[in-house]
Amino acid sequence: MPENKYVRALFPGSFDPITNGHLDVIRRASVMFDEVIVAVGDSPKKEYLFTGQERLEMIHELVADMPEVKEVRFVGLTVECAQREKAQVILRGLRNLADVQYEFQLALTNRAIGGIETVFIMTGEKYGFTTSTLIREVGRYGGDVSGLVPPNVFERLKEKLSAEKGL
């Protein structure tokens, strides 16, 4: 690869909420790529705890000190977002063997329909079990998830779950 090649990576996800595992991947990727775009996906088929704008704001707060990281929202195919953002690679985090099977299928599909490669980063071992779904579920039942999400996210999560109980 030429020394002057600029490589932009797109890290897509729903980030509902963003976890310490996501942030770990973003930080590690930020030293590997010239630019990392955290792409917050909105799917009409999914029911989210946080709005797309709330998820984007939380991420913005977390990456404010990382000039090589920016955040965007998108609806539709990840490969289309990657093309719009002129990303050369899609970045995905892997936690376990189940992730490998699923992500392998996505990577092959993205390459076939969009001509874009996928780069995988293994999550840090202390985050291998963490998912946004698990965090939302444990939080709904009053479990302590403060060590699994950044402090600003934990505060918003407590507020959101408290308001949800008040319905």
Of the residues 8, 55, 92, 95, only one is catalytic, namely 95
Catalytic annotation present for 126: no
Bridge pairing between strands 8-13 and 69-74? unpaired
- Where are the domains positioned within the chain? 8-128
| Predicted pLDDT of residue 164 | 82
Q: Residue 132: how many CB atoms within 10 A of its CB?
A: 22
Q: How far is CA 129 from the centre of its chain?
A: 15
Token pair recorded at residue 79: 């490969």
Q: Are 107 and 95 in contact (CB under 8 A)?
A: no
Q: What is the pLDDT of residue 2?
A: 56
86 is catalytic: no
Q: CA angle 124-118-36, nearest 5°? A: 65
Dihedral class, residue 31 (left if φ above 0, else alpha if ψ from -120 to 50, else beta):
alpha
Euclidean distance between the first and the last CA atom of the chain, given in angstroms as a whole number: 56
For this structure, is 14 an active site residue? no
What pLDDT is attached to residue 136?
A: 94
The predicted structure's pLDDT at residue 126: 86
Domain covering 8-128, topology: Rossmann fold (3.40.50)
Catalytic residue from among 22, 55, 136, 156: 22
Q: DSSP of the chain, one letter per residue?
A: --TT---EEEEEE--TT--HHHHHHHHHHHTTSSEEEEEEE--TT---SS-HHHHHHHHHHHHTT-TTEEEEEE-S-HHHHHHHTT-SEEEEEE-SHHHHHHHHHHHHHHHHHH--EEEEEEPPGGGTT--HHHHHHHHHTT---TTTS-HHHHHHHHHHHHHHHT-
pLDDT tens by residue, the chain, 167 residues = 456 789 999 999 999 999 999 999 999 999 999 999 999 999 888 999 999 999 999 999 999 999 999 999 999 999 999 999 999 999 999 987 778 888 999 999 999 999 999 999 998 888 888 899 999 999 999 999 999 999 999 999 999 998 887 65
pTM of the model: 0.92
132 is catalytic: yes
Q: For position 129, what pLDDT does the model report?
A: 84
Q: Which position among 14, 30, 92, 132 bears the catalytic label? A: 132
